[in-house]
Chain A
Amino acid sequence: MIVFDNICFSYGTRQVLKDISFSIESNERVAILGGSGEGKTTILKLIVGLIKPDSGRIGIDKVDITDKTEDELREVRKKFSIVFQEGALFDSLNVKENVAFCLREYTKMSEEEIEEKVGKLLRKVGVEQAMQLMPDELSGGMHRRVAVARSLAVYEPRMFLYDEPTAGLDPVNAENICNLIVDLSKGGIGHVVVTHKVVDALRVVDRFMFLQNGVMIFDGNSYGLMHSAIPEIQIFISELNFNSKENRQFV
């Protein structure tokens, strides 16, 4: 579904991605790992066309989207449901209005229908009690859940994209979010999770990519990741608690 072909990208003079190539099928569950500022979020933004690469081509469903205009990209974006870091909820709208945003924008649903649909979506992600709260009154975990509900409001996505879904969350909330990500991927819907937390990535994906200095230095399964001889990866996996039964089963 997603094909990156020799993608290079720079922020000003700083080159973030250097000749990145990979392909992801729509039913795959992939994590992009790497340190801060390694270009993980940049890859998500490139997938949905929010930014353009300096060179290389990006294909979505065998269609080259590299040079598409904002209007043409609208159809491409409908295939994805993206949850930005910390949710990116509209802070001037309450939870209900955030989730109802796209419904009001694109459908002619009545107030009752919108209320019903919003309630259903919030129940699905487990935050129906927060309907009238403002985003700054939500906890980090609730923020992400509402963002997921909002991204599901209008379109049935073919793939979910998550940007640091568990960053800044306590272990309980992080686990809840991981469970939600796994639940949503049931039925063959794949996802790409950008994270620097290997523990959470192990819970939700089967395939791992590792970015280091703008280069993809690893692309493989959990076994390959855990047994990688690359020092940077070893530093990353050293955060795992190997005494934990749950983590041990992946090794």
Chain B
Amino acid sequence: MNIKGLVSDIQDCYLLSIRGILGIFRRPFYFKDTIEQMDYAGAGSFLIIFLVSLFIGMALSLQLSAELSRLGLKMYTGKVVGISIIREVGPVTAALVFSGRVGAGMASELGSMILGHQIDSLRVFGVDPIKKLVTPRILSAVIMLPALTLMGDAVSLFGAYYIAVFVSHQSGYFYWSSIKDILNFENVLAGSIKPFIFGYLIACISCYMGFSTKGGAVGLRKSTTRAVVMSIIMIIISDFILTRILLYVLGFSV
């Protein structure tokens, strides 16, 4: 891709993301479509995020227990695992899984509609495709990803608890009191802002990639792949930027 194409893509994606979010405030409101998308994004992703979060929590707890016990600090497992999960691992893991499942689904669905002239049909009927298709997807991602992250965090903490108590033989009471200690305003805020941003990015990038599909089945494959790859890259980059900003705003010294 040349520089001109890249700049044009970024500009178009930016415009789509702005128009998509502004669609929330303009009539007509597509409640039914939004609920359908929330069901697809939320209920459909519940099990996969549950499983991924559970095993990530368990693996993280295993690794940290092993390392901390060598330093004689095994009792801090809960604290370190809790901070890692709530601030960083939970939101990022949920977002990556979400982009792979929901983002790819959005891109392929919209891409297929583009190739089948269904988007042209909508425009001919006077329906704004961004309002009808993008706004409900942005809304569903922005609502459901934080909810899924919250659930994923809780499951990860339970997974980590299981390893800490039944494998690493630590005190369950001490584990939960460590978790309680770290559930302060700063940590919860740091962990709960990210999923909103990630959800917005995933929906905008995936919808844009879907809308820019051309070239039949191969084009659809490319746009779906690009949607997932770009979402993952943007999640990781924005995670770093958000972490930097939040640490600064919340007064943490690095």
Chain A residues at the B interface, C-beta cutoff of 8 Å = 45, 48, 50, 70, 74, 77-78, 80, 82, 84-86, 88-91, 101-102, 105-106, 154
The answer to whether A101 and B117 have CB atoms under 8 Å apart is: no
Within 8 A of A (CB), among B76-113: 112-113
Chain B residues at the A interface, C-beta cutoff of 8 Å = 28, 112-113, 116-118, 120-121, 123-128
Besides A50-B123, A80-B124, A105-B125, 20 more A-B contacts (Cβ < 8 Å) are A45-B120, A48-B124, A50-B120, A70-B123, A74-B126, A82-B124, A84-B117, A84-B121, A85-B117, A86-B117, A88-B116, A88-B121, A89-B118, A90-B118, A90-B121, A91-B112, A91-B116, A91-B118, A101-B125, A102-B125
Partner of A88, one of B28, B117, B126, B128: B117
The answer to whether B124 and A77 have CB atoms under 8 Å apart is: yes
| Nearest CB on A from B106, distance (A) | 13
Q: Within the assembled complex, what's the spacing in Å between the Cα atoms of A82 and B120?
A: 10
The answer to whether A105 and B120 have CB atoms under 8 Å apart is: no
Which residues does chain B contribute within 8 Å of A48, judged by CB atoms? 124
Which residues does chain B contribute within 8 Å of A85, judged by CB atoms? 117
Please list the 5 inter-chain residue pairs (A to B) with the smallest Cβ-Cβ separation, ordered nearest first: A88-B117, A84-B117, A74-B126, A88-B121, A102-B125
13 pairs from A and B in contact (CB 8 Å cutoff) = A70-B123, A77-B124, A77-B125, A84-B117, A84-B121, A85-B117, A86-B116, A88-B116, A88-B117, A89-B118, A90-B121, A102-B125, A105-B28
Q: What is the chain A residue whose CB lies nearest that of B126? A: A74
Which residues does chain B contribute within 8 Å of A102, judged by CB atoms? 125
Q: What is the chain B residue whose CB lies nearest that of A153? A: B125
| Nearest CB on A from B253, distance (A) | 51
| Nearest CB on A from B204, distance (A) | 19
A84-B121, A90-B121 known; A78-B126 Cβ under 8 A: yes
The answer to whether B125 and A84 have CB atoms under 8 Å apart is: no
The answer to whether A77 and B126 have CB atoms under 8 Å apart is: yes
| Nearest CB on B from A48, distance (A) | 6
Which residues does chain B contribute within 8 Å of A106, judged by CB atoms? 126
Which residues does chain B contribute within 8 Å of A84, judged by CB atoms? 117, 120-121
Q: Within the assembled complex, what's the spacing in Å between the Cα atoms of A84 and B114?
A: 12
| Nearest CB on B from A57, distance (A) | 21
Which residues does chain B contribute within 8 Å of A101, judged by CB atoms? 125
Which residues does chain B contribute within 8 Å of A91, judged by CB atoms? 112, 116, 118
Q: Within the assembled complex, what's the spacing in Å between the Cα atoms of A90 and B126?
A: 15
Which residues does chain B contribute within 8 Å of A45, judged by CB atoms? 120
| Nearest CB on A from B51, distance (A) | 28
The answer to whether A88 and B127 have CB atoms under 8 Å apart is: no
Q: Within the assembled complex, what's the spacing in Å between the Cα atoms of A102 and B122?
A: 9
Which residues does chain A contribute within 8 Å of B126, judged by CB atoms? 74, 77-78, 105-106
Q: What is the chain A residue whose CB lies nearest that of B128? A: A70
Which residues does chain A contribute within 8 Å of B118, judged by CB atoms? 88-91
Q: What is the chain A residue whose CB lies nearest that of B127? A: A105
| Nearest CB on A from B129, distance (A) | 10
| Nearest CB on B from A229, distance (A) | 36
| Nearest CB on A from B30, distance (A) | 10
Q: Within the assembled complex, what's the spacing in Å between the Cα atoms of A164 and B113?
A: 19
